[in-house]
A and B are shown apart, each in its own frame.
Chain A
Amino acid sequence: EVQLVESGGGLVQPGGSLRLSCAASEFSFSNYWMSWVRQAPGKGLEWVANIKQDGSEKYYVDSVKGRFTISRDNAKNSLYLQMNSLRAEDTAVYYCASIDYGDYKEFDYWGQGTLVTVSS
């Protein structure tokens, strides 16, 4: 069974940094585009970033460009999100998700999420 397990969330002050990790198991991680999606408390889902299998292409939502960096280590079956200059509006549960990048692109597997709280 495919497993995506996020970690690294916590409480951080505005302007601070945090690095999220997502450990993948039971699927061919290196063959998949991967993504981060977030959900503010009581709100809907917001796509954050995508990364290609070899890391050569990355996309970000405008609100995090220049502050967040998505990366991956295929040898460790791991996905990362480096978050800098954090703001209160970045408070959310962050999910990692795999993308089936066939003719139609969909998030086919999701983790359980890790909570990031930005507050003084």
Chain B
Amino acid sequence: DIQMTQSPSSLSASVGDRVTITCRASQSISRYLNWYQQKPGKGPKLLIYAASRLQSGVPSRFSGSGSGTDFTLTISSLQLEDFATYYCQQSYSTPPWTFGQGTKVEIK
């Protein structure tokens, strides 16, 4: 199975900061990489798919990059509503599909 490793596992940041979260796959997954945001008590929300494509309705301060094994989610200017946990997920080939362990973004 393909393992997904996110870093950091948590970070503290202030409103307006630029935040970067990385995700590494245990083998090449081309661009089959998605990013989700989850707030406490809620289901996840799709932010980025195919490594860099912004889901409809998601603010443009969110962006994704990468291909192969290394990927990045960037929030260009952190807003209050962005404090949440973020997960990467690979959908390369047939399942099993796997998630990273998550990155919790907290208020500094």
B positions within 8 Å CB-CB of A: 31-32, 34, 36, 38, 42-46, 49-50, 53, 55, 87, 89, 91, 94-102
Q: A112 near B43 (CB under 8 angstroms)?
A: yes
Q: B96 near A59 (CB under 8 angstroms)?
A: yes
Q: Which chain B residues border A108 with CB–CB below 8 Å?
A: 46, 49, 55
Q: A61 near B96 (CB under 8 angstroms)?
A: yes
Chain A residues with a Cβ closer than 8 Å to the other chain, count: 24
Give Cα distance in the complex from A38 to B47, angstroms.
Answer: 19
- Main secondary structure, interface of B, reads loop
Q: A112 near B95 (CB under 8 angstroms)?
A: no
Q: Which chain B residues border A100 with CB–CB below 8 Å?
A: 49
For the complex, is A45 an interface residue (Cβ under 8 Å from B)? yes
Q: Which chain A residues border B36 with CB–CB below 8 Å?
A: 45, 107
Q: A45 near B102 (CB under 8 angstroms)?
A: yes
Q: A112 near B102 (CB under 8 angstroms)?
A: no
